[in-house]
Every structure is written in structure tokens, then in C-alpha cells.
Amino acid sequence: MQNRWLTRGLDPDLTSARAANYLRSWRREMLKLAEAGGVVHPALITGDMVEILLGHRASTPLWLQVGYDSPDWGLPSTAQVEQLRSIMAAAPQGGSAEPSATARR
């Protein structure tokens, strides 16, 4: 049996809109991250492009921290990379992700 008090707060329409907003924001941030790393798509970020901070003065590359065999482990094939580049060629460059509506200026 469902707890009526808890189910009062469930609003599928509101929840779906919030989930869609979250995914749009996440996509925008991933595109900004890729652009900051100098690649056209987040799938092309290598394990040595990200440093994991270990305290205040030490860091390690992502690929070592998670136990990958190499920095390029899990990257798309050459054909997939070319396909990504052709898809993303039509996308605007340099600030391509729109600022969020709630961003402070």
C-alpha cells in the first residue's frame, strides 16, 4: 500500500519537466567541458585531460585514478571520431553552449 502523504508530492508533469531541464543543463555543461579541453565532443576527452585532485598539492590523471590501461582507453574508433567531427562541424564554436536562464551576469 502506498503512503498517501508521500504520493501527494508526486507530480509526473512537473517531474518530467525538471528531468528534461536537468538533462539539457548537463548536456550544455558537457559541451562546455569538451570545448575547454579543445575537443569537439565530450566523447573525445581522454583520461589524461582530467586531473583528479588529491588534497591540496597533489593530483593524478583520471585514467590512472580509475584504473584504465591507458589514457585513450574507451575512446571512439577512428571512424567514429571522424563521424563525430563531421556532425559537430555544423555546431557553433566558441561559446557554443547557451548560458542558462538563471546564470548570473
Residue 104 is predicted with a pLDDT of 57
Express each pLDDT in 56-84 by its tens digit: 899 999 999 999 999 999 899 999 999 99
Asked, for residue 5, whether it belongs to a domain, the answer is no
Asked, for residue 2, whether it belongs to a domain, the answer is no
Asked, for residue 24, whether it belongs to a domain, the answer is yes
Asked, for residue 44, whether it belongs to a domain, the answer is yes
3-state secondary structure 2-62: CCHHHHCCCCHHHHHHHHHHHHHHHHHHHHHHHHHCCCCCHHHCCCCCCEEEECCCEEEEH
Residue 6 is predicted with a pLDDT of 80
**Domain count across the chain:** 1
Mean of the per-residue pLDDT values of the chain: 85
Which residues form the domain of 17?
A: 12-88
Asked, for residue 105, whether it belongs to a domain, the answer is no
Asked, for residue 76, whether it belongs to a domain, the answer is yes
Asked, for residue 34, whether it belongs to a domain, the answer is yes
- Whether the per-residue pLDDT at 12 is higher than 60: the answer is yes
State the virtual CA torsion across 16, 18, 24, 26 in degrees, nearest 10.
-120
Asked, for residue 3, whether it belongs to a domain, the answer is no
